[in-house]
Each structure stands twice: as C-alpha cells, then as structure tokens.
Amino acid sequence: MEAAELVRLIDLLERGGVRVWLDGGWGVDALLGEQVREHDDLDLVCELAASDQVTALLGEAGYELVVGAPPLSFVLVDPAGRQVDVHPVVFDDVRGGGVYQMKGGREWIYPEAGFAGRGSVAGRLVRCLTPEVQVLVHDGYELEDKDFRELRLLHERFGVELPEKVAARALGRP
C-alpha cells in the first residue's frame, strides 16, 4: 500500500462523508509524519454504521470485499493486491469509546481519547489513533521486528510508556 493510494482512498472516503482513523503501521507513520517502512495493507477504523458506505466507496475505487463482514472486521483487495483492513466500531458513551466486535463475541474498546490522533501521510493531514492507543492495539497479537521498532519510535517521539513485556525488546534493553 503506497502513500499515494492511501491518500486517494482517504480523500474518496471523506468526500463520501465517511470518517476514518488510520490504525496499524500507517497510523504510526502518520503520527511520525513520515513513512518509516513499507506497508502491505492499510488498517482503518470506521463507525459500524458507515461500513456499507466504506465497502461501496472502496468498490468504486476498484476494491472488492474478500474476507469478513460487518459487524466484524472485513478486508477489501484491489486487482494490484493492495489490501484495506476495516475495523468497524460503535461509539458508546457508557463505555467511553469505540466498541469493536471480535470473533467469538468478544469486544475490545478503543478508548475515546484515542480517536483524537492527527498525523500526516505524504503531506496530507489524516485522522489516526493516538500514540497511546497505537501501543494498546499492538498488545493483541504476536509482535514482529517491525512492531517492536514502531513501539520504540512511539516511545521516543511521544514518550509513550510501553508494556513491560515488550519494553526490553523494543528499547533494546537486556
């Protein structure tokens, strides 16, 4: 997923009235204001109510739904193999954030303050999850070297505390 394609998709979604937040690798790069690695996909968070519109707009851009369906996450891919992973949420004032429905009926809450992130990709201002929430979402899967590097960069740039179980490796401590 190239920066130019990301910008094209964000422009398309916003013109269609859909708010999205960058998550994952591109979300980290947006916060840093520079692309620090190549990305094989684009992770987006959107409101569940906008899921059909996201699918339709990305369909107009050549993307086809290949895996999943709302209210769970879903994946769209274009003929060039570029992938968009969409994580729909329901904003819930009672629980204080965006409720993300996971497989098996589990839920994960994106903290409300996490949606205040702003960054830039190729000079284009974008919404993204905050550095603190980027660290939280890195806790849900097996981390690779690229993930430890992203966590280190978030820590260095924004002073975000890292979970003890990853801090040593991410920060190069014994």
Tens-place pLDDT, residues 82-132? 999 999 999 988 777 999 999 999 999 999 999 999 999 999 999 999 999
Q: In this predicted model, what pLDDT tens digit does every residue of 154-171 receive, in sequence order?
A: 999 999 999 887 887 878
d(CA 11, CA 114): 22
The domain locations on the chain are 3-171
pLDDT of 174 above 60:
no
Q: Which of 116, 115, 166, 121 is nearest to 145 (CA)?
A: 166
The answer to whether the CB of 48 falls within 8 A of the CB of 89 is yes
The pLDDT of residue 93: 80
CATH number for domain 3-171, candidates 2.40.160.20, 1.20.120.420, 3.30.460.40, 3.30.450.20: 3.30.460.40
